[in-house]
Amino acid sequence: MELILAITAGTLYGAGCYLILRRRLAQLIIGLGLMSNGTNLLIFTAGGLTRAHAPIIPEGRTAITGAFADPVPQALVLTAIVIGFGVLAFSLVLAHRVHVMTGSDDIDQMGKEQE
Amino acid sequence: MNAVIFPIIIPLLTAIILVLVPGGARVQRWISFIGSLAMTTAAVLLFAQTQQQGILVLQAGGWPAPFGITLVADLFASMLVVATGIVGVAVTSSAFAGVDPLSEASGYHVLIQVLLMGVSGAFLAGDLFNLYVWVEVMLVASFVLMAFHRTRAQIEAAFKYVTLNLIASSLFLTALGLLYGGTGTLNMADLARHFRHHQTGTFELILAVLFFTAFGIKAALFPLFFWLPASYHTLPAGVGALFAGLLTKVGVYALLRLFTLFFQHAPPELYRLFLIQAACTMIVGLIGALGQRDFRRVLSFNLVGHLGYTTVGLGLMTQSAIAASILYMFHHIFVITNLYLISGIFLRLRRSTHFTALGAIYRDYPWVAVISMIPLFSLAGVPPLSGFIGKLALVRATFGAGAWFTGAVVLAVGVLTLISMARLWDESFWKPGSERDTSAMSRVMLLPIAGLSVITLAFTVAAGPLFDLTLRASQQLLNPEQYMNAVLKVAQLR
C-alpha cells in the first residue's frame, strides 16, 4: 500500500512541476493544486499506514493496546488541506484578475508593454 | 503565566476589534496604531523577561512538550518580536497621512494586524507545524495586501509573489512530512534531541536542502530571489515597508533557527555552499541595484543584497559570525522599513519614484532630506551609523574565522552599497529639479521616519551593549541544550 501511495504522490509532484513550468495560467494553477495534494499524500503516507485500528482507548482502560493509526499526520493533513484550499481559491481569483487585465492567459505576456 | 503569548494575542484582538467596530477611517487608524503600541509594549516586556529568566516557554493548553504546541522565546526571537512591534507602530502611524481609500475600506488595517500576528507567531513558534501555520497566516495576509491594488503591474507582481510562495510552502510541507515520518515528532526541541543522537546521513541532508530551498525562497536568497525585485517596487509605501522589513527576515530567522538546532554537525560542504550562496546574494543584489533607475527598485535589490549579509553567520556557524548576522538583521529591519516609508513621501510629493521624477528634495523639503540621510547612509555603512557597526562585526567575524573570500566580498559589497546609496542621495535629493515645488507636505509623514531614524541613531550610542546582546543570542543559538532543556524540562515538571 505504501508503495502505491508513494508512487501516486511522486506522480502528483511530477505532474505538478510539469504544469507549473507551462506558460498558461490555468495550467499553472492546476499544477499548484496537484503539488499541494501530492504533499498532503506524502505526509499521510510518511506518517505510517495502519489498517483498521482507530486510536481510541477502549472503555475501562487507560492506554491503547496493540497497533493503532497515528492521528497526528491526519490532523496535519487536514490543516494543510484547509490552508491549501484557501490559498488555491485565492490564486484562482487572482489568476482571473490577471486574465481580465492582460486579456491573455499566457504568462510570458506578463510584464510586457509597461517598461 | 509568562509574556510569550501576548505579542501574538494583541494583534489578533486588535484585528477582531477592527472588524467589529465599524467607525470611519480615522477610528480604524487609531485602533490599529494603539494595538501596535500595545504589541510593542508586550514585546519589550517579553524581551526584558528573557533577559532576566533565560529562555521562556509556554506550553499551550498545558500539554507537555512533545505533544502540545510550544511557544518559545529566547533572546534572538524576542529581539525580533520587539523589532516587529516597532515596525508595526511605524507602519500604522504612517497610515495617518492617508492610505488608498479603497483598500482602507476593505480591511487594510485588519490585514496589517493579522500580518504582524503571523510574523511574531513565526518568531515564537517552538513546533515546526506551528511555524508552518504562522508563516501561512503571514503569507495569506500579505497576498491580500499585495493584491488590493488594481494597476496591471501590481496584479502581475502579486501573481508572481503568490506562485513562488506557494511552491515554497509546498516544499516546506514536504520536509515536514518526511521529518515526521522519520522521527515521529515535530517539536523543535524534541527534534534537536533526536538529531543529536543520529549521525548526519542522507535523510538529514535531504531535509536540510528542502528547508534551505523553502526558506531560501521566502528569504529571497541567491538563486531564488527573483520574485522580490519583480514585486516589491509596485507596493504602496506602507505595505512595502512592512514586507521589506519583516517578511524576508522570517525566512532568515527560520534558517538560522533550524540549522543551529538540527544540522550543526552536518558536513562542512553544506556550510561552504551557504557561504557561496551568501556571497552570490550580496554581489548579485548590489549589481542589480546599480543597474536600476527607480528609488524603490534600487531598494528592492539592496534588500536582496543585504540579506546576503544576514546569512553569512549561517555559513560560518561561529559565535561571532552569527552574532554579527543577528546584529545586521536587527539594524536592517529598521533601516529598510524607514527607506520604504521615505519612498512613500516621494510618491506623495512627486507621484513617482523614478529618478526622472525625483531631484531637488533637499532644496524643497530640507527636513525630509536631513531625516532620510540617516537611514540612507546607515545602509551604506558610513561610520558611525548602525550599518557600519554591523559590517564591522561581520568583517571581523569572517576574517577571524579565516573566511578571507567572504570577508573580501563583504568589504567589496560595502563599497557597492556606498555607491548605490550615494547615487540615491544624489538623484533624489541633490540633483537640480525642474520648477520649485511648493505643495505643502503633511508633517505626519515625517513622524514614523523620524522615529525610526532616532532608533537607528540609538544603535550607534548603544553599540557595545547591543553587540553583547547579539553575542549572547548567538551563544544560545549555538548551544541548543539550553533550548532543549528549557522546553523539555518544563514538560517533565508538569
In order of their start, the domains of chain A are 2-50+68-109 (1.10.287.3510)
Cα B196 versus chain centre, distance: 29
pLDDT interval class at A89 (50, 70, 90): very high
B173/A111 touch (CB, cutoff 8 Å), yes or no: no
Q: What angle do CA A94, B230, B141 make, to 5 degrees?
A: 45
Whole-number Å distance between alpha carbons of B82 and B246: 12
Is A48 an 8 Å CB contact of chain B? yes
A20/B170 touch (CB, cutoff 8 Å), yes or no: no
Q: Name the minimum distance, in Å, from the CA of A19 to any CA of chain B.
A: 12
| DSSP-derived 3-state class of residue A93 | helix
| Averaged pLDDT, B212-225 | 90
Whole-number Å distance between alpha carbons of B126 and A26: 37
Q: Tell me the pLDDT tens digit for each residue of B339-386.
A: 999 998 888 888 788 888 787 778 888 888 888 889 999 998 888 888
Cα B317 versus chain centre, distance: 20
Is B356 an 8 Å CB contact of chain A? no
Report the share of chain B in percent with pLDDT over 70. 97
Residue from A20, A30, A34, A39 to probe the interface with B (highest B Cβ count within 10 Å): A39
Is A39 an 8 Å CB contact of chain B? yes
**How many CB pairs (< 8 A) connect A and B?**
90
pTM for the whole thing? Answer: 0.93
Cβ atoms of residues B363 and B435 within 8 Å: no
Report the share of chain B in percent with pLDDT over 90. 46
Cβ neighbours for B90, distance < 8 A, ≥ 6 positions apart:
B241, B337, B338, B341, B448, B449, B451, B452
Q: Name the minimum distance, in Å, from the CA of A60 to any CA of chain B.
A: 23
What are the backbone dihedrals phi and psi of residue B55, each rounded to the nearest 5 degrees, phi first? -70, 125
| DSSP-derived 3-state class of residue A41 | helix
Q: Kindly report the average pLDDT of chain B as a whole number.
A: 88
Q: What is the DSSP letter of A5?
A: H
Q: Name the minimum distance, in Å, from the CA of B462 to any CA of chain A.
A: 43
Is A37 an 8 Å CB contact of chain B? no
Rg (CA), chain B: 21
Is A30 an 8 Å CB contact of chain B? no
Cβ neighbours for B336, distance < 8 A, ≥ 6 positions apart:
B241, B244, B245, B299, B302, B303, B306, B379
Q: Where do we find the cell 542589480?
A: B288
Which of B90-94, B261-265, B318-322 shows the lowest per-residue confidence on average (mean pLDDT)? B261-265
Cβ atoms of residues B227 and B161 within 8 Å: yes
A98/B159 touch (CB, cutoff 8 Å), yes or no: yes
Comparing alpha-carbon positions, the chain A residue that sits nearest to B171 is A39
Answer whether the bond into residue B384 is a cis peptide, omega within 30°: yes
Q: Name the minimum distance, in Å, from the CA of B230 to any CA of chain A.
A: 9
Cβ neighbours for B287, distance < 8 A, ≥ 6 positions apart:
B416
Which pLDDT belongs to residue A52?
74
Half-sphere exposure of residue B446, counting CA atoms within 13 Å on the CB side?
11
Whole-number Å distance between alpha carbons of A54 and A70: 8
| Averaged pLDDT, A74-92 | 91
Q: Tell me the pLDDT tens digit for each residue of A20-46.
A: 998 888 899 999 999 999 999 999 898
Of A76, A86, A90, the CB nearest to B129: A76
Whole-number Å distance between alpha carbons of B418 and B402: 25
Is A69 an 8 Å CB contact of chain B? no
Cα B131 versus chain centre, distance: 15
Which pLDDT belongs to residue B97?
82
Whole-number Å distance between alpha carbons of B330 and B81: 10
Whole-number Å distance between alpha carbons of A107 and B33: 39
| The three three-digit cell numbers of residue B381, written as one number | 555603512
Q: Where do we find the cell 553587540?
A: B467
Which of A61-75, B311-325, B341-355, B428-442 shows the lowest per-residue confidence on average (mean pLDDT)? B428-442
Touching A: B residues 88-147, CB under 8 Å: 129, 133, 136, 139-140, 143-144, 147
Whole-number Å distance between alpha carbons of B469 and B464: 9
B140 contact residues in A (CB cutoff 8 A) = 86-87, 90
What are the backbone dihedrals phi and psi of residue B187, each rounded to the nearest 5 degrees, phi first? -70, 130
In the chain, the amino acid numbered B380 is: A
Whole-number Å distance between alpha carbons of B400 and A47: 44
Is A36 an 8 Å CB contact of chain B? yes
A46/B156 touch (CB, cutoff 8 Å), yes or no: no
Comparing alpha-carbon positions, the chain B residue that sits nearest to A79 is B133
Q: Name the minimum distance, in Å, from the CA of A61 to any CA of chain B.
A: 21
Q: Kindly report the average pLDDT of chain A as a whole number.
A: 86
Cβ atoms of residues B246 and B282 within 8 Å: no
Residue from B106, B143, B159 to probe the interface with A (highest A Cβ count within 10 Å): B159
Of B158, B166, B186, the CB nearest to A32: B166
pLDDT interval class at A115 (50, 70, 90): very low
Burial of B245 by CB count in 10 Å (0-12 exposed, 13-18 middle, 19+ buried)?
buried
What are the backbone dihedrals phi and psi of residue A64, each rounded to the nearest 5 degrees, phi first? -80, 135
